[in-house]
Amino acid sequence: MGFISKIFDLLAFGFDKIPVLNKVKGLRTILGFAGLAVVAGLKAYGVLENPELIKALEYGLTAWTALALNAKGRTE
């Protein structure tokens, strides 16, 4: 359990050290969810048709949101 906790702490620490993301620290999760909503909307309207691109965007935004949620509970 300690090993996994240290991995998540390391990921949260690294995510917090990205320069531009420090300025929007409270909005990172919202930006991830909003990005997923935009991708879903564009997919529904047929603007995004390439399945590889859609999958890459969804995976990337899901990872972004997960890292933002992981970093949110960490104390500095």
**pLDDT, tens digit, for every residue of 63-75?**
999 988 888 766 6
In the predicted model, what is the mean pLDDT of residues 32-48? Answer: 95
| Predicted pLDDT of residue 16 | 82
Task: Please report, for residues 9, 14, 59, the alpha-carbon distance to residue 5 in angstroms, rounded to integers and kept in the order given.
Answer: 6, 14, 23
d(CA 39, CA 61): 9
- What separation in angstroms does the CA of 25 have from each of 18, 32, 46? 10, 12, 32
User: Count of CB atoms within 10 A of residue 33's CB?
Assistant: 15
13-17, 22-26, 58-62, range with the lowest pLDDT = 22-26
Chain-centroid distance, C-alpha 18: 13
Residue with tokens 């603007």: 47
Q: What is the pLDDT of residue 74?
A: 65
pLDDT at 17 over 70: yes
